[in-house]
Amino acid sequence: MALPACAARALGPPLQPERRAPARTTCPRRHSRVEAELAASRPGSVAASVLAGPPRGVSRGFNSQPLLDEPPKASSSLAGAARTSLFALLPRSRRRRMHDLRRRWDLGSLCRALLTRGLAALGHSLKHVLGAIFSKIFGPLASVGNMDEKSNKLLLALVMLFLFAVIVLQYVCPGTECQLLRLQAFSSPMPDPYRSEDESSARFVPRYNFSRGDLLRKVDFDIKGDDLIVFLHIQKTGGTTFGRHLVRNIQLEQPCECRVGQKKCTCHRPGKRETWLFSRFSTGWSCGLHADWTELTSCVPAVVDGKRDARLRPSRNFHYITILRDPVSRYLSEWRHVQRGATWKASLHVCDGRPPTSEELPSCYTGDDWSGCPLKEFMDCPYNLANNRQVRMLSDLTLVGCYNLSVMPEKQRNKVLLESAKSNLKHMAFFGLTEFQRKTQYLFEKTFNMNFISPFTQYNTTRASSVEINEEIQKRIEGLNFLDMELYSYAKDLFLQRYQFMRQKEHQEARQKRQEQRKFLKGRFLQTHFQSQGQSQNPSQNLSQNPNLNANQNVTQNLIQNLTQHSSQNSSHKENRESQKQSAGQEQSDGNTSNGTNDYIGSVEKWR
């Protein structure tokens, strides 16, 4: 159809598409508006669907506005021809995108409509169900037909609160091992003290017989005096965590001063500029990196007292403490640490006044470190100090000629080292186990009479636990650390026996305290009873000068007379029972009764 001359002059020369880029107008905004009007003129286009509004069942948002201005209902043939010519000039990719957008709009509208109708039906059904439940529970107070707007809002709020609680519970406790859902927390107010951290029963069968002195560890630590706690830090036993507890987590009159960004803390005695703790985080590695028993016992007195003459040094008590760990886990943890580049080259290994020679202690690697070494290579090195490290660091190496392996046979050397490590461990002021953090905290507090601020945390997931090994490798590691395996078995037995002994002692003291309280309350009751009885029998004494004193004397005399008669009766019964040759258990019970009577008499004498 040919256009009139006036229309042709108004439109100007026809637009010709370029070879490389589509034709555009001089103004991008005007071009985009023309494209939108051109797309809206076509029936079923995206713009037409936008202008027509959302489909039936889908409501507009509260702030939704039409995306484009509505086109005029009637358009001239001139405008239609112009739009048709402009739409034909659009590239094929643009037209394809417009068609895809139209299909997506239709599919999204359908989905929104279905979702809206489904939610409306679900809410309606839920309303009827909850209304029926309320009607059954509250009777005439609530019914489905008479639920007003306020009831609907309250019901909706309850439902939303329930759904929110379910979502939060699933987020906080995704598994079945959530601590909040364990019924054991509600069954008993106090946990079983004889339950270990791994939820297995700690009532084990002892393998070793220890004396009362070995089990009762009570150190009279005088922090204001000259006593000193020395921490022997064995590699990969959790000593870093325990060392931080010592300087940051103990309730003290003068806490340690720990500055931000510094590992070392200042732990001075109250009123003195002298430390009470010799450890990595208080004095640093003053005796060498991870100094062992042989180094510490010869180095600590000289470092603490300096160049002071030995005769002028104060009589200090050095209380040695340490932490042990399962040998297999400790060995794997050290291997992973060496893989990351750890060497511990700064360790001095001083024994008998000198460090070992390169022939006595060869190196397992030739470079700067042993990073990236496989586990097999780590186990194959015969000079690896990781083998039986805990026995070597707790024993007195001067007994076996230090690191000189030619002094005595290997079998005899291992026996001497193991016995020395057991003896030193048993006579230490305190030692703990990495696998029992809470029990370690409890025994330390009872031993030194020092309380921690926050409880210890048991970490069951470590770098060693992430290493998967088969049974063959585990047996080989146990064979390489056979001395450590024997020492750990000994230490675990002693540790758990000490824990049970201290718990039983604590229960006995608490029971004895309750008995004393009952005796005191019973004596007060008897005193009040006889005092009131004596005042009723002797009313004339109330007019005397000291009525309370006289009444108390009469009450005391009556109470002593009654208790004496009771004790004489008990003694006569005891003689009769002895004559009849009855059991010793009954004699013991009568003796306890007479002792209790004597306690009452003594308490009354104190009240006089």
Q: Amino acid identity of 552? A: N
The pair of three-digit structure tokens given for residue 375, joined into one six-digit string: 């586990």
Collect all residues with Cβ–Cβ distance below 8 Å to 538 and sequence separation of at least 6.
Answer: 550, 551, 554
C-alpha 133/C-alpha 122 separation (Å) is 16
H helices present in 68-211, as ranges: 77-88, 92-138, 149-172, 184-187
Collect all residues with Cβ–Cβ distance below 8 Å to 352 and sequence separation of at least 6.
Answer: 397, 398, 402
Q: Amino acid identity of 375? A: L
One DSSP character per residue, 234-282 reads -TTSSHHHHHHHHHHSB--SS--EE-TT-S-EE-BPTTSS-BSEESTTT
Residue 529: active-site member: no
The pair of three-digit structure tokens given for residue 227, joined into one six-digit string: 């006593």
Angle at 340 between CA 335 and CA 342, to 5 degrees: 75
C-alpha 588/C-alpha 607 separation (Å) is 29
Where residue 314 falls (left for φ over 0; alpha for ψ -120 to 50; beta otherwise) is: beta
C-alpha 404/C-alpha 247 separation (Å) is 38
Q: φ, ψ for residue 262 (rounded to 5)?
A: -120, 135
C-alpha 431/C-alpha 323 separation (Å) is 6
User: Which H or E element spans position 396?
Assistant: none
CB-count burial class (<10 Å; 0-12, 13-18, 19+) for 285: middle
In contact, 593 and 555? CB cutoff 8 Å: no
Helices and strands counted in the chain (H then E): 19, 6
List 245, 290, 319, 349, catalytic entry = 290
C-alpha 69/C-alpha 395 separation (Å) is 91
One DSSP character per residue, 90-104 reads S-HHHHHHHHHHHHH
- Return the active site residues: 290
